[in-house]
Chains A and B, each alone.
Chain A
Amino acid sequence: EPEVTQTPSHQVTQMGQEVILRCVPISNHLYFYWYRQILGQKVEFLVSFYNNEISEKSEIFDDQFSVERPDGSNFTLKIRSTKLEDSAMYFCASSEEGQGHGYTFGSGTRLTVV
């Protein structure tokens, strides 16, 4: 069964450092997403991406965040200057169309900011 792949599984970084979280969405999917889940809390939407541009973003997705599809397979989330409160699980997801069908999540990257 096709899956969304995320690397690394765990990233530890110093406060103020930049991190890049990587994702390989399902190959025939056209919509890509990042979500995060702070420990013990619910999953929160960050951003959606379609046709090489951001289609929607949440209030959480401020100027320190950016996304990119650098080639035909990868989808990245960059956090420019990490803060302690950025510590969370970050999930990448993809869907084949915009109505939600086939919305599939990766296993996540656990980001720990120290």
Chain B
Amino acid sequence: GESVGLHLPTLSVQEGDNSIINCAYSNSASDYFIWYKQESGKGPQFIIDIRSNMDKRQGQRVTVLLNKTVKHLSLQIAATQPGDSAVYFCAEKAAGNKLTFGGGTRVLVKP
């Protein structure tokens, strides 16, 4: 069946350093990927997306890399700030409209 990154690891990062969050997906038919940030008690907040015809996309302080060969997605956060502390989810979309979410990665930013 479809699965996207089923575990919840924790990434501790020093304020000002760069963070890299990884996600493995299993559905090779997925054509659209989104990274979401979720703070405690809140809904998933859109960070950045990428379509399968691209391998890199940059936003403000964030970069998403897509490697379709190994079905791997990563989110890079530059100069991590305390406000970046949250759980980060990758999500994929294949046919239809539903998103399949990964298990998430908790990012803790140390001052």
Contacts and interface: CB of A to CB of B under 8 A. Distances in A.
Contact of A99 (B32, B41, B45): B32
Interface residues of B, number: 23
B111 interface: no
B43 A91 contact: yes
Given A45-B98, A100-B97, A105-B45, 9 more contacts: A31-B97, A41-B103, A42-B101, A45-B99, A91-B44, A95-B97, A98-B97, A100-B93, A101-B49
B101 A55 contact: no
Interface of B: 6, 32, 34, 36, 41-46, 49, 89, 91, 93, 96-104
Contact of B44 (A50, A56, A105): A105
Contacts of A95: 97
